Amino acid sequence: MTKHIFVTGGVASSLGKGLTAASLGRLLKQRGLRILIQKLDPYINVDPGTMNPFEHGEVFVTDDGGETDLDLGHYERFIDENLTRDSNATTGSIYSHVLAAERHGDYLGKTVQVIPHITDEIKRRIHLLAGDDVDVLITEVGGTVGDIEILPFLEAIRQFRLDVGPDNVCYIHVTLVPYIAPSGEHKTKPTQHSVIELRGRGIQPDAIVCRSDQPVGEALCRKISNLSSVPLAAVVSAPDADSLYEIPLILHDEGLDDVVCDLLRIDAGEPDLEEWKALNRRVEAATIPVRVGLIGKYVSLVDAYLSVVESLNHAGIHHGVGVQIEWIQAEDVEGLLVADRLRDLDGIVIPGGFGSRGIDGKIAAAGYAREQEIPCLGLCLGLQCMVVDFGRNVLGLERAHSSEFDPTSPHPVIDLMESQRDVDDKGGTMRLGAYVAQLRSDSRVREIYGEDVVSERHRHRYEFNPRYRQRFEAAGLHCSGESPDGRLVEFIELEDHPFWIATQAHPEFKSRPDRPAPLFRAFVEAALRRAEGRNPQLLQVDVGAEG
């Protein structure tokens, strides 16, 4: 039977429940266990696909096209498993399912209530991922204990221990232990109140993860243990770490995975953490600075580009360099070009996004990188902006644009495909999830991937207009990857440029700390070459070395 771990949080949001769940998942996987992780989100949106990135951060896309919470990115990167849309359930999706069942008559005229119908649906979503091929399912409950919208989830996971037996369920509570500088001490009162609130909902935590900016001493852990009825060994100090990838090692040193295995009666050996420790040694050694400008629309909330940032970090670890990200608001680019402030960048990334705001800045950045031979990586909308720049400024196509932003453009070099138009007029559709691309045998992209056929995840609606393909190719902008039927352009690259490559996909969603996404790996390599060329005093490294 699948064992279940439920991770809740208290006192404040953004404490690191997701990273705790992901790190614990990695530790258990290194013990030879088969792990899956899911997120229960209390917001009423059906999924985060239409939510403002300034509020919610990145929308993480799964292979099967699920638009999910960004914590799923942490899960995938840490446990190195491809998750599905079923790993993210929201209040909106749960109520939608229950209401549809009620309209269909599935409840046979009964009064539909939060208990048992909503809680039963929550439990069904959890059971959906449990099976013979999963040893441990870790479920993170979003929000914080005390939030009114979280109550049905707490009730559902409370019932779960009764349903599957006490030896098959473990509750971990992540809470804040703030350090008060004037008094020079940590305070346990917020944790005490959070645990009281959780116990008031019928859940006694089995372990408490104490988040703080500094290690929490044994005396405080003992105090928390006494006041929460949690064994001292299960009160874990989790101070801020220099790197995300230190967290599994910190939690292991604190004994969290041992506590969980004992509680769940899991007979597994010690985790093999040698590769993870080697990864952290490479993180520490990655010190050579490489400056990368990220031309974004949502740079005031860096979580909006979480997977892009982590992919750059993964590539930096691979090459032994410290990627220093310069956050550049797309709307400010044209002013920065006048001041020539982008010249000192070693590389430019133009990520995805929606809406017309900042588009001119992204296009200008693409053109500047092309003219100044600065390595440039375009992702999704980034590809489209690079195509528009090339169309306008190399091919001389006046007012070339995407029909998404200028429906009257005489040269819609980015446009809806004919097969999408009718569907789009009826409400819109996107290419979501994994799509296969055939790479041109003589292309740099083929060399970078080392494969003829690749699969990357997508989240977009507009495409490179095939009517212009021949003109672009003749001018040196090659369509180096396409859909198997040849209709859709998936990759572009500019000949005779250090690195001016883009993809219609989001390769950042498949990057791993020990296996960086190929395009990011190659981009950081090109940026490093530029940095070395501009500053010969930089230590020369063997590009691609594993540390």
Q: Measuring CA to CA, which residue among 257, 327, 318, 338 is closest to residue 295?
A: 327
Cis before residue 116, ω within 30 degrees of 0?
Answer: yes
Q: Which two tokens stand for residue 315?
A: 């590539």
Asked if 336 and 361 count as a contact pair (C-beta separation under 8 A), the reply is no
Give DSSP secondary structure letters for 454-489. Answer: EEEEEEES-EE-GGGHHHHHHTTEEEEEE-TTS-SE
Asked if 415 and 425 count as a contact pair (C-beta separation under 8 A), the reply is no
380 is catalytic: yes
Catalytic residue among 140, 508, 525, 532: 508
Catalytic residue among 221, 376, 380, 385: 380
56 is catalytic: no
At 533, the amino acid letter reads: G
Contacts of 95 (CB under 8 A, 6+ apart): 44, 118
8 pairs with which residues across the strands?
173
The alpha carbons of the chain give a radius of gyration, in whole angstroms, of: 25
Please state whether beta strands 321-329 and 288-296 pair in parallel, antiparallel, or not at all (unpaired). parallel
Q: How far apart are CA 462 and CA 378, in angstroms?
A: 15
Burial of residue 189 (CB within 10 Å: 0-12, 13-18, 19+) is exposed
Q: Which two tokens stand for residue 221?
A: 């852990």
Q: How many CA atoms lie within 13 A of 258 on its CB side?
A: 13
476 pairs with which residues across the strands?
none
Give the distance from CA 525 to its chain's centroid: 23
Q: How far apart are CA 232 and CA 495, in angstroms?
A: 62
At 53, the amino acid letter reads: P
Catalytic residue among 319, 506, 525, 532: 506
Give all strands of the β-sheet with 401-402 in edge-to-edge order: 401-402, 412-415, 463-464
Asked if 507 and 379 count as a contact pair (C-beta separation under 8 A), the reply is yes
Give DSSP secondary structure letters for 376-445. Answer: EEEETHHHHHHHHHHHHHTS--TT-EETTT-TT-S-EEEE--HHHHHHHHTT---EEEEEEEEEPTTSHH
508 is catalytic: yes
Taking phi first (over 0 means left), then psi (-120 to 50 degrees means alpha), and beta for anything else, what does residue 340 get?
A: left
Residue for token pair 């609130």: 197
Neighbours of 529 (CB within 10 A): 17
Q: Which two tokens stand for residue 217?
A: 């001493």
Q: How far apart are CA 314 and CA 513, in angstroms?
A: 5
User: Which positions are annotated as active-site residues?
Assistant: 380, 506, 508
